[in-house]
Structure 1
Amino acid sequence: MSANKIFSTTQVPLVVWGGGTGGVASAVQAARHGIRTLLLTPGAWLGGMISAAGVSAPDGHELSCWQTGLWGAFLQDIAKVEQDGLDQNWVSCFGFNPARAEVVLRSWVVDLPNLEWWSDVQLKSIFREGDRLVLLELELEGRQHQLRFDLFIDGSDLGDSFSLADISHRWGWESQELWNEPSAPSAKQLNSDPFFASQPVQSPTWVVMGQLDQHAQSPSSPGCLPRPFEAATKAFGFERTVTYGRLPGGLVMLNWPLHGNDWHKGLERIRSSDVKIKNQLAVEMQLYSLSFLQALQTVSEGWLNPGKVFPGINQSLALMPYWREGRRLKGQYTLVEGDLLPLASGAARGPIPLDKQGRCTSIAVGTYANDHHYPGKDWPLASKSCRWGGRWTGTPFCIPYGALLSSEVENILMADKAFSVSHIANGATRLQPMIFNLGQAAGMAAAIALKKRIQPAEVDISELQHELLHDIYAPAAIVPIWDWPAWHPHWRNAQKFVLAQPDCLSNHSLIEGFNLKANVGEMPLPDQTPLNKHVKKFSGCLRVHSDQTFSLDTKSKSWRLITLEPALNRWLESCEDQQNVHLLAVANPWGPWLRLIRVLD
């Protein structure tokens, strides 16, 4: 870019590239802690996956013990604007309109006077001098700008800065021999099977929104879907397929992995620098998802129609794709499958990362059950799920701080799914809830580094953990502890106790061998959970089933019973079959289940 075309040159302490959950979280966190921050986004919406990409029924981090940090703050804020509540579908315990999610995040950003936001930015180039990024060039409203900065946070889905600044990164599969990951293919398989070349990363999806006619009924005998979607409804039936991602007001998120609208073709184009090639990929994905919506609509007998959510000509089509994977940083630490897998059967945890002095290096908690998207049969993955609270949930694991740091560039931090993680482990680390809190940690680390005039790698991890735990806006969990919900007054005590002595946390992620009341405080009880306006009283006969599920037989119907509360999970596990109970719960007819909130007995 020649100098005579430059409209402005600006110096800022912190630049954040990317408007997804991680980018927004990092920018908000840094600005809240006094850092003048410039947030650059390629689009006009904030939120990425949960808004612009339309993935607004997020799973993972659903239990109250994981609802911490900016993820927990987002849940509280979106619940205030979704008057019908968040219990809307069966893939998740949370469903919301993506446009309302964007409004929530926008309110966070505009409330901060030291956070400036430039939208619809084209990032042209990033200049690097040795181990530092020093300058970026961009285009905004047809004008060219240069930015100089002290720290740079990459909050993009695809690791956009890596190719522009020649930062070492990974793409595609790694062999089992590299990190001894049980679910990875052997080097021989990688070199001989053409599947791995044709599917270098997980398949993305361009989400499309449908709208259910609230006055119509789901067809009792829907016709067959046309090719290539003829098998899409075979596993769960037509109605369950459509309501998988139901949202308030009868919107439905169509993000269907089983012969639905996942996109599997030409994925090498994801990392192309040619705009025409990337645009062609986008068009193909959009048309494919729109044809999936049309196929479902055709056999729905008027029950399903295109939704109206997003700005633009086609209001049913998300503004961007849901990228499950792209480039991945080569970091100071690489999170691999062994860091995720539980240390015991049942409700257990992954290993606590420790430095040479035995101090915990975790800065965020992940929980998602490892899940990969490819054409054909599911890729066999080592299990990291368990029965808990009457349902399946992912087992928790830690994100070490070193996974946010480059192995060669000293003034960059990662805030989204392109952080340092293996291809196999990415299946458990790519979801919005964890990325909120990973981005929060990146923003906090940047704030500490800039205030102390040090590099991110020099940040004292114990100070970073302390600041995250004591954040006045959104205190965030550092280590996975099943027993303590985020709303409980002793939640922070439990976190601090485990950080001080990591050995006290059992493989089942419970504090054992100590006097809990003296060292942490009173345990949460089954009648203490905070209430909301959607809670109702239910009475009936509690049934305890052999598969670790529960149900409640009321006078009118039998409900499946689940909970997200640790104290209520313990209560359910202690119950006998055919016990008469009185409960407070939120009904989700699309689950269908009752989400248990309190026990009244």
Structure 2
Amino acid sequence: MKKTESFLLIWLLVAFFGCSYNGQKNKVDVLIIGGGASGSMAGIQSARMGAKTLIVEEGPWLGGMLTSAGVSAIDGNYHLYSGLWEEFRQRLYDYYGGPDSVKTGWVSNVLFEPSVGEKLIREMAFAESNLEVVFNSKLDTLKRTDHGWLAAFVGENGSFIIEAEVVIDGTELGDVAKMVGIPYDIGMDSRYDTGEEIAPDESNDIIQDMTYVVILQDYGEGTDKTIARPENYDPTPFFCTCAGKCDPDTISRILWPCDKMIEYGRLPNNKYMINWPIYGNDYYLNVIELPPAERKKAYEKAKWYTRCYLYYLQTELGFNYLGIAENEFPTEDGFPLIPYHRESRRIKGLVRFTVNDLARPFDQEFPLYRTGIAVGDYPIDHHHAAYPDQSKVPDLHFYPVPSFSVPLGTLIPQDVKDFIVAEKSISVTNIVNGATRLQPVCILLGQAAGTLAALSANNQITPAEVSVREVQTHLLQAGAYLMPYRDVIPDDPYWLDVQKIGATGLIRGEGKNIGWTNVTLFHPDSVMTIEAIKPGINEMAPEIDIIDFEDNNILSVKDGLDIAIELAEYLKHKSLKMDIDEQVKQWWTQLNFGTFDPDSQITRAQMAVLLNRIADPFALEVDMKGRFVHKLSSDN
């Protein structure tokens, strides 16, 4: 980055828009536009890394879909205790009284009141001395300068200008990315463009259904909280919302008993999230390219549809004692501040994450898994039931995939410098968006975006120039997973070893889809075989012939130690002056591996420890496509 200031442009913008918010200086390292699930966490992480950070949010709340949209039932990542997602979850546990206290509905293991979620996220944000948040302020202009960006906002207290080194788009629909001219896609991709066999032949502009959620409260049997009959109310779209009200043979969906259905999104304190996908309040609208005024009008249609559904629940199904929750949202009608968008613009980034990369990460031309920064384990979940012409929509309902890790390059646009994209506008295909759009993934994408932005600003380089391994190292230090290995958690003493070795590909996990559960398993206690380690060694260090260590297919501790030492010598970036045998014995004791026996079979976890601590292959840099960059030694 250059430090030459565009004084004339600054002077003109300041003269026109004003020069302060709350009397504070308008220069920051990292500016985040949009305080949603990603934006909030990006701000927290950036500030923790020492960057002066500002979040500007158009509304009065932080949290986006988690809070402002009312989608307060977390989908996925229950067994992936990663980073800021885990920190937020622990705050929910502390607030409500433990894990069981938020298992109130059956759609999720973590449910909470949106107002409580916002309170906790706000507390996390306001605890950071390097982070400021400005609410109720809308971006007016954003202009590139020689040293970063100038952003002009219109807020409730007037206009203000912000000068920033790096900008993060944390909006719900990628509006800032469009404003600065970043190319993007909307809708379904052609299989011939993405190589995804399950994609349609031709691209189209069909996006996922949106939902205007409503939070209800149980006012007690005998209480009638029925709302006024909505204008043009028609009950027929909702007849099959639960069992017993229509002929199940005429539809292809499982129908739940009505009493079971209503418990789907039950929240603590006898509240209910109404976000029901089966002939419920999903609604098709594609507002992405509409101007704000037209979007607002369109949102009223989705809100009207949810009112109709609520009226149906109250009058046809007998849930009239459930009424709109009071004091849940700072809105006149008690509805959420914003609708729930499942899909937005998707930028054209340095890499595009396809379902092939997600489903078979170790079999692709480019090993994007080595650049992973945010993990997820939810299925490919697309909502298209409300689209008028179903013949144009391929069947993507819960397409089976393993757990996954999103590549860093999806956050960085191809041609616009000092700019990062998060939330649902990252560089993924339409199909993959069905998994990466979920709340924990967006939280973790925000954490990664904040890490990348802080490193970019602190080091005075563009996001694309930041070291992949440096981003990953900071995420690991913050307790965030790089690899989605469910069977090795941060409490395990060798978690860091497994994460680092997993991100090199030297030892590879096994991906599985088990019903609704998607996992990738490291199998830490299984024996290490030559067959399992050979592909990774061949890619990183093809000169090493591990057949030399073969007595049989299973490696011994001594074999594993010899491989680690030879790899360290090959990479030539790790001093081996230590007494290796004595050090390994200490590790065995510290990690509860049992008695050190060189002739015993070595487990995969033990092998990860030896490789990481002796050879440190994670220090070998990779580019944004996951390819090794051999710059460790002048001799290499």
Fold in common (TM above 0.5): yes
Cα distance change, pair 430–119 in 1 and its aligned pair in 2 (3 A): same
CA distance in 2, matches of 1:155, 1:479: 24
Matched, 1:182 2:197: yes
How far off is 1:444 after superposition? 0.9
Native 8 Å contact 1:351 1:397 kept in 2: no
CA distance in 1, matches of 2:493, 2:50: 27
| 1:356-371 aligned within 5 A | 360-371=370-381
Cα distance change, pair 518–355 in 1 and its aligned pair in 2 (3 A): farther
CA distance in 1, matches of 2:111, 2:369: 38
Matched, 1:338 2:347: no
Native 8 Å contact 2:313 2:319 kept in 1: no
Aligned to 2:212: 206
Among 8, 12, 22, the alignment partner of 2:19 is 8
Native 8 Å contact 2:235 2:308 kept in 1: no
CA distance in 2, matches of 1:444, 1:398: 16
Among 245, 269, 287, the alignment partner of 2:265 is 245
Cα distance change, pair 453–354 in 1 and its aligned pair in 2 (3 A): farther
Cα distance change, pair 464–301 in 1 and its aligned pair in 2 (3 A): closer
Matched, 1:421 2:428: yes
Matched, 1:76 2:93: no
Native 8 Å contact 2:165 2:418 kept in 1: yes
Cα distance change, pair 494–367 in 1 and its aligned pair in 2 (3 A): same
How far off is 1:15 after superposition? 0.2
Matched, 1:310 2:322: no
Cα distance change, pair 520–50 in 1 and its aligned pair in 2 (3 A): farther
How far does the alpha carbon of each residue in 1:75-120 deviate from its partner, in whole angstroms, 9 at most, with x for none?
1001111247111111111111111110110001111121111001
CA distance in 2, matches of 1:164, 1:448: 24
Question: Which residue identity lines up with residue 425 of structure 1 in the other structure?
Answer: V
Native 8 Å contact 1:353 1:400 kept in 2: no
Among 488, 495, 499, the alignment partner of 1:491 is 495
Coordinate RMSD, CA, aligned: 2.8
Cα distance change, pair 518–160 in 1 and its aligned pair in 2 (3 A): farther
Aligned to 1:478: 482
How far off is 1:330 after superposition? 0.7
Aligned to 1:533: none
Q: Give the share of equivalent positions with the same residue, in percent.
A: 31
Cα distance change, pair 241–117 in 1 and its aligned pair in 2 (3 A): same
Which runs of 5 or more residues in structure 2 are unaligned?
1-11, 21-25, 224-233, 244-254, 512-519, 529-556, 561-586, 594-636
Cα distance change, pair 424–215 in 1 and its aligned pair in 2 (3 A): same
Which runs of 5 or more residues in structure 1 are unaligned?
191-195, 218-224, 344-349, 386-393, 524-601
CA distance in 2, matches of 1:484, 1:520: 17
CA distance in 1, matches of 2:471, 2:364: 15
CA distance in 1, matches of 2:463, 2:365: 18
CA distance in 2, matches of 1:22, 1:319: 17
Native 8 Å contact 1:214 1:250 kept in 2: no
Native 8 Å contact 1:353 1:361 kept in 2: no
Question: Which residue identity lines up with residue 17 of structure 2 in the other structure?
Answer: I
Aligned to 1:454: 461
Question: Which residue identity lines up with residue 421 of structure 1 in the other structure?
Answer: V
Aligned to 1:51: 67
Question: Which residue identity lines up with residue 159 of structure 1 in the other structure?
Answer: G
CA distance in 1, matches of 2:364, 2:109: 30
Native 8 Å contact 2:382 2:397 kept in 1: no
How far off is 1:519 after superposition? 11
Question: Which residue identity lines up with residue 324 of structure 1 in the other structure?
Answer: R
Task: Say which SS state the counterpart of residue 228 (structure 1) adopts.
Answer: helix
Aligned to 1:277: 294
Cα distance change, pair 114–55 in 1 and its aligned pair in 2 (3 A): same
When structure 1 is superposed on structure 2, of 250-259 and 303-312 the one drifting more is 303-312
How far does the alpha carbon of each residue in 1:302-348 deviate from its partner, in whole angstroms, 9 at most, with x for none?
44222221122122x1111111111111100011111222x4xxxxx
Task: Say which SS state the counterpart of residue 129 (structure 2) adopts.
Answer: coil
Aligned to 1:319: 337
Cα distance change, pair 323–359 in 1 and its aligned pair in 2 (3 A): closer
Aligned to 2:159: 144
Task: Say which SS state the counterpart of residue 312 (structure 1) adopts.
Answer: coil
**Structure with the largest fraction of strand:** 1
CA distance in 1, matches of 2:311, 2:397: 36
Cα distance change, pair 520–513 in 1 and its aligned pair in 2 (3 A): farther
Matched, 1:23 2:39: yes
| 1:379-390 aligned within 5 A | 379-381=394-396, 384-385=399-400
CA distance in 1, matches of 2:498, 2:220: 46
How far off is 1:521 after superposition? 4.1
Cα distance change, pair 519–458 in 1 and its aligned pair in 2 (3 A): farther
How many residues are treated as equivalent by the alignment? Answer: 483
CA distance in 2, matches of 1:384, 1:228: 26
Cα distance change, pair 322–383 in 1 and its aligned pair in 2 (3 A): closer
Cα distance change, pair 181–62 in 1 and its aligned pair in 2 (3 A): same
How far does the alpha carbon of each residue in 1:177-196 deviate from its partner, in whole angstroms, 9 at most, with x for none?
11111221002xx4xxxxx4
**Structure 1 stretches (4+) deviating beyond 6 angstroms?**
352-356
Matched, 1:156 2:171: yes
Aligned to 1:558: none
Structure of higher CA gyration radius: 2
Cα distance change, pair 359–373 in 1 and its aligned pair in 2 (3 A): closer
Question: Which residue identity lines up with residue 395 of structure 1 in the other structure?
Answer: P
Cα distance change, pair 519–170 in 1 and its aligned pair in 2 (3 A): farther
How far off is 1:355 after superposition? 6.3
When structure 1 is superposed on structure 2, of 87-96 and 494-503 the one drifting more is 494-503
Aligned to 1:571: none
Task: Say which SS state the counterpart of residue 503 (structure 1) adopts.
Answer: coil
How far off is 1:292 after superposition? 1.2
Question: Which residue identity lines up with residue 270 of structure 1 in the other structure?
Answer: I
Question: Which residue identity lines up with residue 339 of structure 2 in the other structure?
Answer: P
How far off is 1:440 after superposition? 0.5
Cα distance change, pair 215–20 in 1 and its aligned pair in 2 (3 A): same
CA distance in 2, matches of 1:335, 1:509: 21
How far off is 1:486 after superposition? 3.5
How far off is 1:384 after superposition? 5.0
| 1:511-526 aligned within 5 A | 511=523, 513-514=527-528, 521=591
How far off is 1:438 after superposition? 1.1
Cα distance change, pair 28–408 in 1 and its aligned pair in 2 (3 A): same
Cα distance change, pair 468–305 in 1 and its aligned pair in 2 (3 A): same
Among 105, 109, 123, the alignment partner of 1:93 is 109
How far off is 1:4 after superposition? 4.7
